[in-house]
Structure 1
Amino acid sequence: MPNQSLPSTDVVVTAVGAVTACGASTADLLDAVLGGAAFFRSAQVPLVAAPLPVARGEQPAQARVFAGHVTGDLDLTDTVGARTARALSRESRLLLHALNGCGAGPVADTERTGVVLGTLHAGRGEYLAIHDAAGGTGGVNPVWGPQTGYNAPAAQLSIHLGARGPNLTLSSGTTAGLDSVVVGARQVTDATCDTVVAAGVDTLCPAVLGDDDGTAVPEGEAAAVVVLQNARHATGAPLARVLGTARTTAGPGDDQAALTSAADRAIRGALAEADRSPAEVRFAVTASGGAPAVRRAQLTAITCLLGDSVPVYDAAASTGVTGGADGTLAVALAVEALRRGEVPPGAPEPGTPLALCLAVDAGGTASAVLLGGEVT
């Protein structure tokens, strides 16, 4: 029998934040997903957040793309000061807004606070801007150079927090955002850190986007933050508990059976670590990167293990495919649902509702996180 009296890990979630096309909070995200709302529109996308001044009449044309655009005010002058705010990349702006939205800020125990970030495209806008300038007569903003690195947003997050613990950037495909939570939870479990800010971020880039042809889930941009802490030393009220995590790979080949096998083993691994049964899972949240084969594999694995009555949500239907943010958004969405008690009706009543988060990459890797409400 599964052990429902003792947690399988000492990791709790004490804060979640998200900035998406749906709005600037996890509440906005959950409302959109539950309501089936989609936030896609055609709009211009600047290549960089800190462009150089241009003469009147020389403003370069900006491409219009159909996507999940973040439209809110991203000014951070009151948070980081005017000089720093002007130099931040769009990825860093989204991340810091997501962090501010969940109430997290500079930490007290800087040495034992880490950052793990998932991203697939950080810095590509600045990289392309430098490339374009090198081939013409335009200048280069000095802030673009440091922003071309994949790890620049994670570094900015650590600087803002004052965190001096491990700082990792993961670019592991569709699973990157969920992997940030898996790796962060393990850092807390093995006492490397008392607090880890697990996050995911990616933004839109006009150079690689075009008008939607209606055949795929549109791209989107987003940032999500999940604050993980040791339950015994938590400085915030727990919203949920990380019960189990798993990462697997299907090995060579990306056929449907291999993807389904990877998803199946990731789910089983998370359940086994938590010592919980499939019947206790109330709902699932997935990240598929918009790939139809991945989506089919996820649904097949979930249905076979958890039953066909378990609802499955995917934020991408509302936000667009957000790259490294997809998996972290899945966790933020699940925690918000557990916190608000917005779990689907009609499922078995365990001691507390459990939520499964599952990400699968078309290359054959899969990650899973099992969450429980804090009454676990």
Structure 2
Amino acid sequence: MKHIVVTGTGLAVPGLARPLDLLADEPPGTGFDPATALKGKEMRGKDRASRLGLCAADAALRDAGLLADDGTYREAGETTAVVVSSNLGTLETACEFTDTIAREGVTGLSPLGLPQTSSNVVAGWIAIRYGLRGPNLTVCNGATSGLDAVHWACHLILAGRCRRAVVVGVEPASEPAGRLLGQEPRDVTAAVVLESAADATGRGARAHAAVSAYARGADAARTVAATESRAPVPVQLRLATGHLDLTARLGDCSGALGVLQCAAGADHVRSHGTGAVLAVAGGTAADDAAAALLLTTELRN
């Protein structure tokens, strides 16, 4: 059986420079700045979610050693998948189109902006930017969406559909999102690169962590227990409500939460060189399910 490892992580959260900053008691307050990072030639004609996704994906691909100095992708594009998790990424564009139709009718719409209403637009732009021609999909699955996206990316690799995958969780700050969530929204985006341990070793890449287990179910306690039971060592870090809760620090992260957890957890495992991290999303009264994912330094069948 192939073992799946995280070989790259990236982050695009205002005021933070790297995924480990998500776990800091006192974040540095410096780092990613949307005012400057979301501008430039590569960002023109793209919605905010796509621009954020491109920033995080670029950081993760560079961290994985998959980009040349000029930003081109080093490996065969057809061997790499893009999986995006976002529940609200296209909400602002959809609202803008709806408002235009209400004011001017369909003749007031710009055909150039229509692709931005697709839920898969972020994954599409990332694939176009780096020439990634493997499977391309978006998961819009509520609170568990980010962890589900990581799980599906692992299965694409295990099934032989691709050799590696870029997984991005993105939720942009927008006025419609703020109205829907009932709180001030914030740009939250993270990315991880997944590949088989054999492929990582073959190209000389160092793994941050191994994806050791995943479970999803209606009963949160059983889902978490089933995942944690597969840890080869005691879990040192829990990323969940009631423990180290990223939503308490960043607000409602929606579809980006699971990928934020994985990026931070993988970097935590790498920096400590041992241990296990358990990421949990969903499971509240407002959710229809919970998902849990285990990251460790040990490879298990």
Q: Provide the C-alpha distance between the structure 1 equivalents of 2:199 and 2:270, rounded to a whole number of angstroms.
A: 21
Which of 157, 162, 166 aligns to 1:197? It is 166
Note if 1:98 corresponds to 2:56: yes
**AA paired with 2:222?**
R
In structure 2, the residue corresponding to 1:281 is in which secondary structure? coil
**AA paired with 1:284?**
R
Query: TM-score if structure 1 supplies the norm length?
Result: 0.67
Equivalent residue number for residue 285 of structure 1: 239
Note if 1:324 corresponds to 2:255: yes
Equivalent residue number for residue 110 of structure 1: 77
Contact 1:244–1:371 (Cα < 8 Å) also in 2: yes
User: Against the structure 1 CA distance between its residues 110 and 364, is the aligned structure 2 distance closer, same or farther, given a 3 Å change threshold?
Assistant: same
Q: Provide the C-alpha distance between the structure 2 equivalents of 1:71 and 1:371, rounded to a whole number of angstroms.
A: 30
In structure 2, the residue corresponding to 1:228 is in which secondary structure? strand
Q: CA deviation at 1:9?
A: 5.5
User: Against the structure 1 CA distance between its residues 244 and 217, is the aligned structure 2 distance closer, same or farther, given a 3 Å change threshold?
Assistant: farther
Equivalent residue number for residue 86 of structure 2: 119
Contact 1:14–1:239 (Cα < 8 Å) also in 2: yes
Contact 1:107–1:163 (Cα < 8 Å) also in 2: no
**AA paired with 1:18?**
L
Note if 1:370 corresponds to 2:301: no
**Equivalent residues in 2 for 1:225-264 (5 A)?**
225-234=191-200, 235=203, 236-248=205-217, 250=218, 262-264=219-221
**AA paired with 1:282?**
Q
User: Against the structure 1 CA distance between its residues 338 and 72, is the aligned structure 2 distance closer, same or farther, given a 3 Å change threshold?
Assistant: farther
CA RMSD of aligned residues (A): 2.9
Note if 1:156 corresponds to 2:125: yes
Note if 1:355 corresponds to 2:286: no
Q: Provide the C-alpha distance between the structure 2 equivalents of 1:270 and 1:191, rounded to a whole number of angstroms.
A: 24
Contact 2:3–2:197 (Cα < 8 Å) also in 1: yes
Contact 2:4–2:210 (Cα < 8 Å) also in 1: yes
Equivalent residue number for residue 338 of structure 1: 269
Q: What's the % identity of the aligned pairs?
A: 28
Q: Provide the C-alpha distance between the structure 1 equivalents of 2:270 and 2:53, rounded to a whole number of angstroms.
A: 22
User: CA deviation digits over 1:283-302, x for unaligned, max 9?
Assistant: 1112xxxxxxxx4xxx5xxx
Q: Which moved more, 1:160-169 or 1:185-194?
A: 185-194
Equivalent residue number for residue 309 of structure 1: none
Long gaps (5+) in structure 2: 68-72
Which of 3, 10, 34 aligns to 2:3? It is 10
In structure 1, the residue corresponding to 2:44 is in which secondary structure? helix
User: Against the structure 1 CA distance between its residues 283 and 94, is the aligned structure 2 distance closer, same or farther, given a 3 Å change threshold?
Assistant: same
Number of equivalent positions? 282
**Equivalent residues in 2 for 1:118-137 (5 A)?**
118-136=85-103
Equivalent residue number for residue 53 of structure 1: none
Query: TM-score if structure 2 supplies the norm length?
Result: 0.83
Equivalent residue number for residue 219 of structure 1: 185
User: Against the structure 1 CA distance between its residues 148 and 331, is the aligned structure 2 distance closer, same or farther, given a 3 Å change threshold?
Assistant: same
Equivalent residue number for residue 70 of structure 2: none
User: CA deviation digits over 1:29-56, x for unaligned, max 9?
Assistant: 233xx33x698xxxxxxxxxxxxxxxxx
**AA paired with 2:292?**
A
Equivalent residue number for residue 268 of structure 1: 225
In structure 2, the residue corresponding to 1:369 is in which secondary structure? strand
Which of 12, 17, 21 aligns to 2:14? It is 21
In structure 2, the residue corresponding to 1:266 is in which secondary structure? helix
**AA paired with 1:28?**
D
Q: Provide the C-alpha distance between the structure 2 equivalents of 1:229 and 1:111, rounded to a whole number of angstroms.
A: 14
**AA paired with 2:275?**
P
User: CA deviation digits over 1:81-125, x for unaligned, max 9?
Assistant: x2x521111111101111222315425122221111111012221
Q: Provide the C-alpha distance between the structure 1 equivalents of 2:34 and 2:12, rounded to a whole number of angstroms.
A: 10
User: Against the structure 1 CA distance between its residues 92 and 24, is the aligned structure 2 distance closer, same or farther, given a 3 Å change threshold?
Assistant: farther
Long gaps (5+) in structure 1: 1-7, 40-68, 251-261, 287-294, 300-311, 342-350
In structure 2, the residue corresponding to 1:245 is in which secondary structure? strand
Q: Provide the C-alpha distance between the structure 1 equivalents of 2:58 and 2:176, rounded to a whole number of angstroms.
A: 30
**AA paired with 1:100?**
D
Q: CA deviation at 1:70?
A: 6.2
Contact 2:210–2:296 (Cα < 8 Å) also in 1: yes
